[in-house]
A and B are shown apart, each in its own frame.
Chain A
Amino acid sequence: METMSPVERVLRAVALTLVVVFFMFPIFWIFLMSFQTNETILAIPPSIVFSPTLSNYAALITGKLQTAAGTLDIAFMRNLGNSIFLSVASVAVALVLGVPAAYAFARHKFKGSEDIAFTLLSFRFAPPLLVLLPLTQYFQWLGLSNTYFGLIWVYQLICLPLILWIVRGYFEDISADVEYAYRIAGHSWFATFRKIALPLAGPGIAAAGLLAFIFAWNNFVFALVLASADKQPVTVGALAFVTSSGIQYGQIASAIVLSVTPTLALALYAQRYLVEGLSLGAVKG
């Protein structure tokens, strides 16, 4: 790159600072808010100097809110537990279903394989409500309404295409000869899959799993339509939380902080794979 003039250097620095402030400030502000009581939050002008309190977190974790009207039970911890269970289970199912299929699509070009792969991909881009609304009725008939099983099944809509298309790319990157060599050495296709393909695609599979976890965690509409309060993840739970009476703003903020921390931590951990995952394998970082 060419050398920059001092003016340009300053302009760039200013622009970058503005960008960082715009994108980081909300996270920073909500984080601060989660350590504040209603008095400091409502103070005008707002200040970043205050004596921090953990009372918001304590209230969420114990599930007991002290309000003027008395003690209020909140189920935020249950939402958090639901989020963890739904996301982990959905990713596990998607891996069990998706990895063998990805292997089949990568290694064996068979009749209809591309059609199935693209159908799965098109799920990613179809309006989710189109499937969800009729599904509410099917779930009633099948007794799957408000069950973890039903939710995990529907979560495959986002997890499966992601796993399938990313992992497929990783399998395609393994030289076919390496697998042939293992077959010729006398091992079955399954042994080859287990001892050669899986270990070599391992990092990619792990990354796809982490990304699928993030997307499952962040999903909102599935549980909104299909789950009642006791099965709802944090995305839906936190929203209901806002409308419940007597809630303190700091507690909403700390609920948000608790809800986004897992995905942010995973994203930082898996950031090397984010580009590839976000583009469903089309762009490498």
Chain B
Amino acid sequence: MTTLHLKNIVKRYKSQTVLDDLSLDVANGERLVLFGPSGAGKTVLLRLVAGVIEPDEGRVLIGGEDMTDVDAEHRGVGMAFQNFALFPHMSAFDNIASPLTATRSSKDAIADGVQKVAKLLKIDHVLSHHPKALSNGQKQRTALARALVGSPPLLLLDDPLRNVDAKLRFEMRLELPRLLAAEGATVVYVTQDYKEAMALGDRIAVMSQGRIRQIGTPQEIYNAPADIEIARLFGDPTINLLDVVPQRGGEGVFVELSNVRVRLADYDGDVSGKPCVLGLRPETIVFTDASSPGAIPVTVEAETPLNEKTVTLAMTARGREILVSRPAGTPGPVAGPAHIAVNGAQAFLFDKASGRLLPRADIASKRNGEAA
């Protein structure tokens, strides 16, 4: 275990700024996920930490020690690459052993170390194969084994599940947390898959355009995305975003959806009259009876049954599309007119102009008040 501190990192390629004054602190033993769309600068950041590329400005501190000018081979980090980056002319054994040969360990110690990690990753039967003869999953495990074998205090994983098939990715998503916990290393994990980010990260740093947009626990980011872009990136199906103008009413702030008032309990009067975007997670919307209070009439357009949930595309009276997600197997309308209910307490309001999440009125105290 160790700590990682990045201070005001700037990296430019030609005129393009890839990392823009980026700072980040990773605590001892923490699993931090770097999440963001491709081109956000995640991979560059990881390579910068590993020491294979240099920042134009800023410092990289590992374990409190300034490593900015230290060569990659002296930083003692482990790294797995998205494209595996296996040495094509070496057997899986030699691939995995490469971090051990660098330290001139004894032959027996190397063999033991490789065997141990290979068993853990269930590739001990293919150690004599060259990468060409390995399946994609085996390649990926070999790459992971190579990163893990030296028990590095800092482990950098660059989207290691990107290039494996869906089944394997699902398996590894379950297996990895256990593996990483057993390893006890500080981990920086890059991914473009929000589920992976949610499953693996103690904290998630959301990156885009060379900056960290938001950093927090998976729950914090899911429940309070800092802006529309982050809200869209997290969640499947994608969050519903509707243009609204909140108004002040008798019981507080509300928005109108198809002439039905939805009260936004968490917001106060500051937002009224301001052009906003209402964010509604598909799973917070439920189908309901026409008679229940707050029911909004919609027309069901299409239904897509996924494995664990069913997603319905509905159209409001004003022609706005709404996605509704419910657990698979629960009843719901298949076509034609229906009604939905929206929970205002679970909705987000974003400023339409800036895209930023509008601050809620002191939520904590209000919640406590309700509970009391």
Q: Do A and B come from one complex?
A: yes
Nearest chain A CB to B287 CB, angstrom units: 49
Mask for A175-208, Cβ within 8 A of B = 1, else 0? 1011011111111110100001001100000000
Alpha-carbon distance between A182 and B81 when the two chains are bound, in angstroms:
12
Q: Which residues of B contact A191 (CB under 8 A)?
A: 102
* Interface pair B88/A186, CB less than 8 Å apart: no
The number of chain B residues with a CB under 8 A from chain A is: 26
Give the residues from 51 to 74 in chain B that come closer than 8 angstroms, CB to CB, to chain A: 51-52, 71-74
Which residue of chain B lies nearest to A183 when distances are taken between CB atoms in the complex? B72
* Interface pair B89/A181, CB less than 8 Å apart: no
* Interface pair B81/A187, CB less than 8 Å apart: no
Give the residues from 214 to 266 in chain A that come closer than 8 angstroms, CB to CB, to chain B: none
* Interface pair A183/B85, CB less than 8 Å apart: no
Which residue of chain B lies nearest to A186 when distances are taken between CB atoms in the complex? B102
* Interface pair B50/A180, CB less than 8 Å apart: yes
Q: Which residues of B contact A178 (CB under 8 A)?
A: 85-88
* Interface pair A185/B88, CB less than 8 Å apart: no
Which residue of chain A lies nearest to B82 when distances are taken between CB atoms in the complex? A177
Q: Which of A181, A189, A199 contacts B81 (CB 8 A)?
A: A181
* Interface pair B83/A184, CB less than 8 Å apart: no
Q: Which residues of B contact A182 (CB under 8 A)?
A: 87, 98
* Interface pair A186/B83, CB less than 8 Å apart: no
Nearest chain B CB to A139 CB, angstrom units: 43
* Interface pair A180/B87, CB less than 8 Å apart: no
Q: Which residues of B contact A188 (CB under 8 A)?
A: 71, 73
* Interface pair B87/A196, CB less than 8 Å apart: yes
Interface status of B265 (Cβ within 8 A of chain A): no
Q: Known contacts A180-B47, A182-B87; is A187 also within 8 Å of B71 by CB?
A: no
* Interface pair B102/A185, CB less than 8 Å apart: yes
Q: Known contacts A185-B102, A186-B99, A187-B98; is A180 also within 8 Å of B83 by CB?
A: no
* Interface pair B150/A186, CB less than 8 Å apart: yes
Nearest chain B CB to A273 CB, angstrom units: 19
* Interface pair A181/B47, CB less than 8 Å apart: no
Mask for B35-52, Cβ within 8 A of A = 1, else 0? 000000000000100111
Q: Which residues of B contact A185 (CB under 8 A)?
A: 73, 98-99, 102, 146, 150
Which residue of chain B lies nearest to A188 when distances are taken between CB atoms in the complex? B73
Which residue of chain B lies nearest to A177 when distances are taken between CB atoms in the complex? B85
Alpha-carbon distance between A182 and B51 when the two chains are bound, in angstroms:
12
Q: Which of A177, A180, A196 contacts B72 (CB 8 A)?
A: A180
Q: Which residues of A contact B102 (CB under 8 A)?
A: 185-187, 191
Interface status of B342 (Cβ within 8 A of chain A): no
Alpha-carbon distance between A199 and B78 when the two chains are bound, in angstroms:
24
Q: Known contacts A184-B50, A184-B77, A186-B103; is A175 also within 8 Å of B83 by CB?
A: yes
Q: Which residues of B contact A196 (CB under 8 A)?
A: 87
Nearest chain A CB to B152 CB, angstrom units: 9
Q: Which residues of A contact B52 (CB under 8 A)?
A: 180, 183-184
Q: Known contacts A175-B83, A177-B81, A177-B83; is A184 also within 8 Å of B89 by CB?
A: no
Alpha-carbon distance between A175 and B72 when the two chains are bound, in angstroms:
17
Nearest chain A CB to B89 CB, angstrom units: 5
Nearest chain A CB to B109 CB, angstrom units: 15
Which residue of chain B lies nearest to A176 when distances are taken between CB atoms in the complex? B52
Alpha-carbon distance between A189 and B102 when the two chains are bound, in angstroms:
12
Q: Which residues of A contact B74 (CB under 8 A)?
A: 186
Nearest chain B CB to A50 CB, angstrom units: 54
Q: Which residues of B contact A180 (CB under 8 A)?
A: 47, 50, 52, 72, 79, 81, 85
Nearest chain A CB to B99 CB, angstrom units: 4
* Interface pair A181/B146, CB less than 8 Å apart: yes
Alpha-carbon distance between A199 and B94 when the two chains are bound, in angstroms:
15
Q: Which residues of B contact A200 (CB under 8 A)?
A: 88-89
* Interface pair A181/B79, CB less than 8 Å apart: yes
Q: Which residues of A contact B86 (CB under 8 A)?
A: 178, 181
Q: Which residues of A contact B99 (CB under 8 A)?
A: 185-186
Alpha-carbon distance between A123 and B212 when the two chains are bound, in angstroms:
49
Which residue of chain B lies nearest to A187 when distances are taken between CB atoms in the complex? B102
Alpha-carbon distance between A182 and B72 when the two chains are bound, in angstroms:
9
Nearest chain B CB to A149 CB, angstrom units: 36
Q: Which residues of B contact A183 (CB under 8 A)?
A: 51-52, 71-73
Which residue of chain B lies nearest to A180 when distances are taken between CB atoms in the complex? B52
Alpha-carbon distance between A178 and B84 when the two chains are bound, in angstroms:
8
Q: Which of B73, B85, B87 contacts A186 (CB 8 A)?
A: B73
Alpha-carbon distance between A184 and B75 when the two chains are bound, in angstroms:
8
Alpha-carbon distance between A246 and B86 when the two chains are bound, in angstroms:
66
Which residue of chain A lies nearest to B79 when distances are taken between CB atoms in the complex? A184
Alpha-carbon distance between A96 and B98 when the two chains are bound, in angstroms:
27
Name, among B71, B73, B88, the residue most crowded by chain A CB atoms within 10 Å (CB to CB).
B73
Name, among B47, B51, B78, B102, the residue most crowded by chain A CB atoms within 10 Å (CB to CB).
B102
* Interface pair B89/A199, CB less than 8 Å apart: yes
A-B contact pairs, 5 of them (CB 8 A): A175-B85, A180-B85, A187-B73, A199-B89, A200-B88
Extra contacts, 14 of them, besides A181-B79, A184-B72, A186-B73 (Cβ < 8 A), are A175-B85, A177-B81, A181-B81, A181-B85, A181-B86, A181-B98, A181-B146, A184-B50, A184-B52, A184-B73, A185-B98, A186-B99, A188-B73, A199-B89
The 10 A-B residue pairs with the shortest CB-CB distance, nearest first, are A186-B102, A177-B85, A185-B99, A183-B72, A180-B52, A181-B85, A185-B98, A186-B73, A184-B79, A178-B85
